[in-house]
Amino acid sequence: MADTRLFFLVVVLLSIAIFMSYSLSSYAVIYYNYGQFHFLYRELFAGCIGIFIMWGLSYFNPDKYLLTLGLILMFMSLFMILILPFLPDSYATSAGGAKRWLRLPNFSLSPLEFFKIGYIIFVAWSLSRKFRGGNTLSFFQQLVIIIPHLFVFLLIAMIISALQNDLGQIILLAIVFIIMLICAGGRFSLFTLALGIITTVGTILVIISPHRIKRVREWWNNIENLIRSYAPDFSLLSEYSMDMGGQVQNATYGFHYGGYFGSGIGQGVVKLGFLGEVHTDMILAGITEEIGIFGLAICVLIFFFVLFRILKISYRLKSSFYHLFCVGVVCLLGFSFFINSFGEAGIIPIKGMAVPFLSYGGSSLICCCILVGLVLSLSRSVDLK
């Protein structure tokens, strides 16, 4: 029997997302002249599809089809990413200076979200085969194993950077890959090598991109403002302080004015044009302002219970392939949350990344449900009592 607790925890998160998508999208509805329930209907539809997918995949046979599914998703999504820039605007939706969504009748599809599923399955399968010797392998033996993986990752990073203009997803995939490498039995020296190469590539991608440097300056401006509250004479980039950092400042206002119990459902202010489409990437600030720190804490606790259940399943699986896949799922979901929340709080440069299960967006929601559904199929073979 599949893990029903994991299933119902995710259903609760999806219910919160559907509810908040209606409350937090009021300004976007007016701005775009949509119907009152435009975002609610779409999120409700995506949520119902996601629940149905989780239920259906809980009966999935991973022994026969998991690797096949992963390779299909990986290569089909990569093909769609490659052709998106050449499609007319009527078939591709742009954001952040790149075409990121395939426009279909009544909904849009983000190939990159589905690519991440396939990539995790592929890496889990490959590492489980290559690292059967674990730490008994020498550094050079492990290095020979890891070089093709690094080459594939760097190729993927260049494609995503050039065609999707999305450094955040590259960083996320790098973190997932490195942690899966360590869990597969990679030596710490191998970890530092992979981390160094990926950090170097990431730094280069930031330096050569003006809009990414602007985001770093926006982040530093907020750090400066915080430091000045304790040391008024501190200044390194003061020339940027007049027009930088508005998004993060408004998000922190949402966290602050929500207090312990919030201003009330529908009574939030930051959603009224101060934060761009707060029901998507900035949803944690919107949630906190309306239902308070306690409400946010409940959402976070449910989310971490989901991660805990997946890890519990992971460490009871006998197959290293399935174990690494579950680790990859936890890393993908967990670090997506951390990157978004730390960005909204001003701890790191802000990056438009959806909060798993909570942010408005059909592609992200459905892909998260696919991952959980696959974990549910694996949970049938373990005893969770």
In order, the DSSP letters of 144-170 are: HHHHHHHHHHHHHHHHIIIII--HHHH
| Residue 108: DSSP 8-state | E
Q: Would you place residue 135 in the very low, low, confident or very high pLDDT band (cuts 50, 70, 90)?
A: low
What's the whole-number average pLDDT of the chain? 85
101 phi/psi in degrees, rounded to 5: -125, 140
Q: How far is CA 259 from CA 21, 167, 285, in A?
A: 21, 33, 12
- Per-residue pLDDT reduced to its tens digit, 69-88: 999 999 999 999 999 888 88
Under 8 Å CB-to-CB from 367, ≥6 apart: which residues? 113, 114, 116, 117
Q: How far is CA 233 from CA 161, 218, 225, 230, 243, in A?
A: 38, 19, 11, 9, 19
| Cα–Cα distance measured from residue 24 to residue 272, given in angstroms and rounded to the nearest whole number | 9
Which pTM does this prediction carry? 0.90
pLDDT of residue 120 exceeding 80: yes
- Per-residue pLDDT reduced to its tens digit, 225-280: 666 666 565 555 544 444 445 677 777 777 878 888 888 887 877 777 777 678 88
The per-residue pLDDT for 241 is 47
| Residue 104: DSSP 8-state | E
For 133, other C-beta atoms within 10 Å of its C-beta total 12
Q: Would you place residue 297 in the very low, low, confident or very high pLDDT band (cuts 50, 70, 90)?
A: very high
The per-residue pLDDT for 28 is 80
Order of strands across the sheet that contains 92-95: 92-95, 98-104, 107-109
Torsion sign over Cα 356, 358, 362, 366: positive
Place of tokens 């209606």: 22
| Residue 110: DSSP 8-state | -
DSSP string, 220-252: HHHHHHHHHTT-TT--SSGGGTTTS-HHHHHHH
Would you tell me the crossing angle of helices 283-314 and 246-257 to the nearest 10 degrees?
80
Task: State how beta strands 92-95 and 98-104 pair.
Answer: antiparallel
Joined together, the tokens standing for residue 271 give: 């959603």
The per-residue pLDDT for 104 is 79
The per-residue pLDDT for 264 is 83
Q: Are 29 and 351 in contact (CB under 8 A)?
A: no
Q: Cα 217 to the chain's mean position, in Å? A: 23
| Cα–Cα distance measured from residue 101 to residue 28, given in angstroms and rounded to the nearest whole number | 19
pLDDT of residue 187 exceeding 90: no
